[in-house]
Amino acid sequence: MPSTATVRFGLDRATGNFWIDTGLVILAQGLEDGEHEADAVIEWLLARVTQKTGNTGLYYDPREGRLREYEKTNWAYPINLFIKVAGDAGKKVTIDGQTYPTRPPAFQLKLDLSKRPASCDICGEQGPVTDAKMWMFPFLVDPGKFGNFYPGLRRGAKMCARCALAGLAAYLGWLWKAQGQDALHFFIFHSELDEMERLHRQVLGPLRSQGGKGGNAPVAFSGPYIHETVLGLLLQLFSHARSSDVLDEEGRAALARLLGATAAAPPPVTLYAVSGRPGQAFSMTALREFSRLQDLFRLYERWLGVISERGIDKDAHARVVRVFAQFQAPQGKSWESLWRDRIAWAVLSFDDPFPFIEQFLYEVRAREESPRPLARGTLEVFEQYAQEVMGMDEQFQRTLAGFGHSLGIAAQEHNEMGLLYELRNAKNPEAFYRVLNDAQFRLEATVPEALLRIERGERIAGVPWVRVKTILAIYAMNAFLRKGGYQSGQSQAREED
């Protein structure tokens, strides 16, 4: 069947596939209501997924019998990492030993539909289908089996015209961020079709222009790893929910409702993030699904409240961004941000970030040529996290903070940094208590009674002993580094970095 078939696009029938549904939203936004010829839709899409390169080439014009110049066109970046179909340049001729096309290369895609009806592998509709191997869809996942990921549909699939065209249109709906030649990240939000349409039209459309160099994803920070870049994207998105100088009031309200910031029941929303390495083609290394965006937003708002209430920074959002952005270190001519990615993974998963904070503090900050404590607000942000997510008792947390602060100051005064590393390296409760005992004699420290009671399951005050040890080690080393001469204006400014 030729591709002159007619197709109708609307928001009344979702497929459940985040990639195809994104394309349906793009087509519903860009095309008028009613049926459309598939060929016309392809031409509409080709005009948007290809672009002029700025370079020129020569072709031989047989009618005029001479060489003519044309402006080269290619698939837009990063689409060109996935679609490798070359432009049709017609017959070739050789002139003076050089081969030339006989027309400027024209990019074409054909929708060859079967004469016999079959079931579409994506939406399940019966009708003419096309072999999806003829189409280049990078992130196509069986809606019922998220684990069954097959980039490029290497196993093959049969798709109806509606789904096939939507698969091409989805390239216009993703957010992406490139990290040089090291990594390339893609982000696709998925919800009910009408919610997706509002999100793309009122929120993502305006914010794409804020993406800056290296992509159209607006991020507070980014790096070569997927979780740190997802957190950077979400923090930037969250900042527009209450007030925005980019979104109009309608867009801000739509975002707020989607994130659960209004009295209305929020619709379900999921963020799919894909990471890989660019090159001649895209080599995928990770695909992640984040479905607790509303819980994350509530946590973010708690952080803003803590920063504001304690007078840590007038710009609470910028302070929260700085807290997370700091977990990186120079490495050669670039930066290593593995610690930030691990902490972001923990936060996005509602898991324990403290081992990674401890690792960064002891292995990076304490070993710098001019050691620095953590940025202001870091401890407060993660104290709130420990209470909200990990259920830590606030009073016990204060006890840990107070003792850790005293321990760090005493270690600095007695030049006993090694004792803090002994604390950090304790492998069992016995080793932990030996360090505390040493602290009493070497630093004349008084250990709080709450820390001396070990409970069933090797818990202290209901908290696993190793978590108590880790958090105490963080408080102590941070106080040690702050006590070590960070009182001058210059040092305070460095702490803010």
Scanning the structure block, which residue is given the tokens 């690792």? 359
Are the C-beta atoms of 207 and 218 separated by less than 8 Å? yes
Write the pLDDT tens digit of every residue in 190-246: 999 999 999 999 999 999 876 667 999 999 999 999 999 999 999 999 999 999 999
Position 496 scores a pLDDT of 46
Helices (H), 310-442: 316-325, 338-349, 354-363, 378-388, 394-413, 417-424, 429-442
Give the pLDDT of residue 211. 62
At 85 the pLDDT is 80
pTM of the model: 0.91
Helical ranges in 17-147 per DSSP H: 18-30, 38-49
DSSP of 299-346, one letter per residue?
A: HHHHHHHHHHHTTS-SSHHHHHHHHHHT--EEETTEEE-HHHHHHHHH
Report the pLDDT value the prediction gives residue 181, as an integer from 0 to 100.
Answer: 84
What was the pLDDT predicted at 82? 85
Chain centre distance of CA 5: 38
Determine the 3-state secondary structure of 388 from DSSP.
Answer: helix
Q: Which two tokens stand for residue 299?
A: 């946590």
Regions of the chain with pLDDT less than 50: 1-3, 141-154, 486-496
* pLDDT the model gives residue 378: 98
Residue 137 is predicted with a pLDDT of 66
Residues with Cβ within 8 Å of 454's Cβ and at least 6 positions away in sequence, in order, are 429, 460, 465
- What is residue 150's predicted lDDT score, i.e. its pLDDT? 41
Residue carrying structure tokens 């399951």: 457
The three-point CA angle 171-175-179 to 5° equals 110
Separation of alpha carbons 413 and 126, rounded Å: 78
Provide the pairing of β-strand 158-160 with 334-336: unpaired
Which H helix or E strand runs over 491?
helix 489-496
